[in-house]
Amino acid sequence: MASSTSSPSFFPARRGVRLAGTGACVPDKRLTNADLEKMMETSDEWIVQRTGIRERRIVDTEHGESVKHLCAKSLERALADANLKGTDLDLIIVATMTPEMACPATACMVAQMVGAGHAGAFDLNAACSGFVFAINVAHDLIKGGAYNTVAVIGADTLSKLMDYSNNGRGTAIIFGDAAGCAIFKATDDTSKGVLAQSMHADGEGWKDIYVPRCSFDFPQGTPFDENKIDVVQMNGATVFKFAVGTFPEVIQQTLDKAKVKAAEVDMFVCHQSNQRILHAARDRFGLSEDKLYVNIDRYGNTVGASVPLCLDELRKAGKIKDGNKVMFVAFGGGLTWGSSLWQM
Ligand code: COA
């Protein structure tokens, strides 16, 4: 239990924020393009050419596997990486659009699962932008002195909101399930932390990615179809256009805010939405292949988990180190988009 005596002062000396550890968890169950070919009219060639995805992982619902298990495992791994215990956490934020239930917050269940005592816990929903929004929130809560040690988890199980038939083939091929976690801590080194960040939304675009729960949730002009209830509805071409434009724009704005050049950034950790969108951003900034990470081929678009999953792989591979400048970027349903440029 985080004791009140260890709570930091609200008027702290100037402090920085450092990344203390990361962890990730993907389900064992694989859903390959060949598997999808048996479920709908599609082909490995079409999927790879349009998205770069070869396989994704999905939870084994028959054995009760769900988002809270992925979250807890990713957090346990991040705690071990940071050499911390659950009781060392002051706050847990879970960024998800597929919570375990409407109430309680998934973060509360995860806190209980890892023995985090009475640490604060809440969920944040900004769809695919969720993890980037949440690390911005966590950073400022630590920087401002309210908290010392915060775990941020990005986790989603979109497989439960897919129609794996011909009707859903434009959407179901994209998404996979996963969780990733980053733990942040206060540090005396004031050079560490966020150099510039942004969080944006355009509610006009809500109908480009939504999950209807009842007849009233369908946009005007879209006829009610009960087969679409609890299934992701996505206007793929519109989202693609939005992403291709927004991605480089938000990167450039964040670089300008921090007065940093693209070449000075050691790694761009971007939401894995579509390989073509990522390659377009890479070309726009003249980045070498190893500076903008892509793992969409193995996991698909894992929504809130995609950025922390990349972060964990990069850290474990020694490609993100202390002293690096790292830019996190994401966009998604809402529509939302955001960034976070860190001095590690
Ligand atoms: N297999 C084969 N054909 C498919 C298919 C599939 N899985 N899904 C759709 N098609 C067909 C369509 O029916 C259409 O056929 P038609 O021309 O005969 O009508 C054709 O392929 C083109 O469909 P379209 O939806 O225009 O394809 P696209 O080139 O836009 O690619 C996406 C579809 C979804 C891959 C692409 O729009 C995309 O990646 N969008 C961004 C989505 C995204 O990033 N979402 C997450 C936001 S965080």
> How many CA within 13 A on the CB side of residue 167?
10
**DSSP states of 133-198:** HHHHHHHHHHHTTS-SEEEEEEEEEGGGG---SGGGHHHHTTB-EEEEEEEEEEES-TT-EEEEEE
CB 92 within 8 A of CB 107: yes
Q: Whole-model pTM?
A: 0.94
- Taking the centre of ligand 1 as the mean of its atom positions, its distance from the CA of residue 124, in whole angstroms, is 29
The answer to whether residue 25 is catalytic is no
The answer to whether residue 181 is catalytic is no
Q: What are phi and psi of 249, to 5 degrees?
A: -65, -45
CB 128 within 8 A of CB 304: yes
Residue nearest to atom 42 of ligand 1 (CA): 236
CB 190 within 8 A of CB 14: yes
- 10-residue averages of pLDDT along the chain (344 residues): 48 84 98 97 96 97 96 98 98 98 98 96 98 98 96 98 96 97 97 97 97 96 95 95 91 96 95 92 86 96 98 97 97 97 98
Does the beta carbon of 332 lie inside 6 Å of ligand 1? yes
- Taking the centre of ligand 1 as the mean of its atom positions, its distance from the CA of residue 79, in whole angstroms, is 39
Which atom, in ligand 1's list, is nearest to the CA of 169?
7
Which atom, in ligand 1's list, is nearest to the CA of 170?
8
- Give the pLDDT confidence score for residue 8 in this predicted structure: 54
- Give the pLDDT confidence score for residue 311 in this predicted structure: 98
Q: Is 3 helix (H, G, I), strand (E, B) or coil?
A: coil
Q: What are phi and psi of 178, to 5 degrees?
A: -175, 170
Does the beta carbon of 33 lie inside 6 Å of ligand 1? no
Pocket test residue of 50, 167, 238 for ligand 1, highest count of atoms within 8 A of CB: 50
Which atom, in ligand 1's list, is nearest to the CA of 127?
48
- Taking the centre of ligand 1 as the mean of its atom positions, its distance from the CA of residue 236, in whole angstroms, is 6
- Taking the centre of ligand 1 as the mean of its atom positions, its distance from the CA of residue 164, in whole angstroms, is 14
Pocket test residue of 174, 175, 232, 270 for ligand 1, highest count of atoms within 8 A of CB: 174
Does the beta carbon of 246 lie inside 6 Å of ligand 1? no
Which of 42, 23, 15 lies closest to 31 in space, CA to CA? 42
Does the beta carbon of 276 lie inside 6 Å of ligand 1? no
Does the beta carbon of 51 lie inside 6 Å of ligand 1? yes
Assess whether the previous peptide bond of 99 is cis (omega < 30° from 0): no
- Give the pLDDT confidence score for residue 33 in this predicted structure: 98
